[in-house]
Amino acid sequence: MKLKIKMLPSARKGWKRMLVIMGIYTIWWLAVILTVISLQGITSIIRQYGSANQFFGGLLHSVVKNSLTYYILIFMLALPLVRDKGRKKVFVQYAIFIALLTGYDYLWDYQIGVPTPAIKELSLSFFLISNFILNILMAVVSIFIATWIESNDALKREGDLEKQKLNAELSAIRYQINPHFLFNSLSFIYTKTIRQNPEAAHAVHLLSEIMSYALEEWEDLGRVPLTLELTHMKKVIEMNRIRFNNKLNVDYQERIEQHGDTVLNSAYVPTLVFITLVENAFKHGDLNDEKNKVVIRLTLAEDTIRFSVSNKKKTGTKEPSHGIGLSNVRQRLQLMYGTKQTFVIKEDEQTYLTEININLIKS
């Protein structure tokens, strides 16, 4: 059984970052070497290294090792530190990494390789202390670079949010049916069916409330209280139960862990994100299999929201889909929460699962 997992960020992005760092560091290091050569001459530099092979080997090793070091310092340590993702933990990781890096410098220059004449002139204690200080300086530089990256990302996210808000307003103008006409029509249908078919009238009433929620122009770029999103999501489930004559095979459960009620009453989420995942399962899932129900889970803890929907895939003719809804969910979560969220899609030949995880710790 093949399992496909789509998750960001991708490995390609990591390689691109690594190549950029290596390119910048190579240019900087070559500029330093050329400056030193212009002052002392190539012969003097090679003599300090012992031989031409040691000189070029040391140059290559320095570029690769320091490029990898800066990548780890900036993207794996400094950025989480700047974003306040476990500050104490990151400081400990910093200390361990710098200690290991200093130990690696000693092993490379004294144990693995042949010490150059310049290194032989230094005492071991001076070598270790000076390398340790240089590694700390690299860590400080990485924090400045990470701060600059995070500042630019924040400005970009704000710009993207404004752009998305404008696009949403334009889409509403272009595609939206006149709400007054819509709700007047639903009210008329509700009045005409309430006596003859109370269940159908109730479904119309639910549809009216759901569409009112969907068409509402929410402030703060579409953020709504978590309780409001859950309330209308349950209305979507109830309306589909009526649609399937109360034979809809859905297993919905909420789990509120310690202080989860605080999250329920105070957290905000992008409007329609949970509803989109539920509707996607109703649209593409097999809703008639009692053994493979549509499983909807919501877990609330003090600092996290976890929401998942899984379903058995429908066989036979499938409704056309371009994945626009899920793409929109991913984009809005990214814009609102940045790296403090994950949106995961897992699927195989029979099942499909979507999962949202939101970290509510504020930076």
The answer as to whether 259 is a domain residue is yes
**CATH code of the domain in which 267 resides:** 3.30.565.10
3 pLDDT above the threshold of 70: no
Supply the range of the domain harboring residue 303: 245-363
Assess if residue 169 is contained within a domain: no
> Within a domain: residue 225?
no
Least confident span in 142-151, 168-177, 250-259: 168-177
pLDDT of residue 210: 84
Other beta carbons within 10 Å of 247: 10
Strands (E), 177-263: 223-225, 250-256
**Choice among 45-59, 159-173, 198-212, 248-262 with the minimum mean pLDDT:** 159-173
Task: Read off the pLDDT of residues 275-316 as tens digits, 9 standing for 90 and up.
Answer: 999 999 988 888 888 888 999 999 998 889 999 999 998 886
Of 95, 122, 153, the position where a domain reaches its end is 153
Token digits of residue 325:
């809804």
Contact 271, 223 (CB under 8 A): yes
User: Three-state SS for 258?
Assistant: coil
Q: How many domains does the chain have?
A: 2
Same domain, 140 and 24: yes
In a domain, 237, yes or no: no
Residues 273 and 141 in one domain: no
What's CA 286's distance to the chain center, in Å? 30
Residue 52 resides in a domain: yes
The whole-angstrom separation of Cα 214 and Cα 232 is: 9
Q: What pLDDT is attached to residue 116? A: 65
Give per-residue burial for 36-49: e unless 16+ CB within 10 Å, then b: eeeeeeeeebbeeb
For 37-86, how does the pLDDT look when each residue is reduced to its tens digit (9 = 90+)? 777 777 776 776 667 777 777 778 788 888 888 888 888 888 877 776 55
Q: Is residue 54 situated within a structural domain?
A: yes
Structure-model confidence comparison of residues 108 and 229, the more confident one: 229
Are 249 and 147 contained in the same domain?
no
Q: Same structural domain for residues 253 and 143?
A: no
pTM attached to this predicted model: 0.53
Q: Is residue 183 part of a domain?
A: no
**pLDDT at site 278:** 93
Residue 297 tokens read as 């889970």
Start-to-end CA distance of the chain, whole Å, equals 41
What are the φ/ψ torsions at residue 52 (nearest 5 degrees)?
-65, -40
With respect to residue 101, please indicate whether it lies within any of the assigned structural domains. yes
With a CB cutoff of 8 Å and minimum separation 6, the contacts of 310 are 281, 294, 295, 351, 352, 353, 354
Quote the pLDDT of residue 8. 46
361 and 257 co-located in one domain: yes
> Considering 153, 172, 187, which residue would you say is the last residue of a domain?
153
Residue 221 contacts residue 236 (beta carbons within 8 Å) = no
Do 258 and 139 have their domain in common? no
Same domain? 148 vs 249: no
pLDDT surpasses 90 at 138: no
* Short-list 211, 187, 290, 279, CA closest to 248: 290
Q: Which residues contact 69 (CB under 8 A, 6 or more apart)?
A: 101, 138
Q: What tens digit of pLDDT does each residue of 232-290 get?
A: 999 999 988 888 777 788 999 999 888 788 888 888 898 889 999 999 998 888 888 88
- Computed over every residue of the chain, the mean pLDDT equals 79
pLDDT for 1: 45
146, 270: one domain: no
Q: Which of 99, 122, 153 is the last residue before a domain boundary?
A: 153
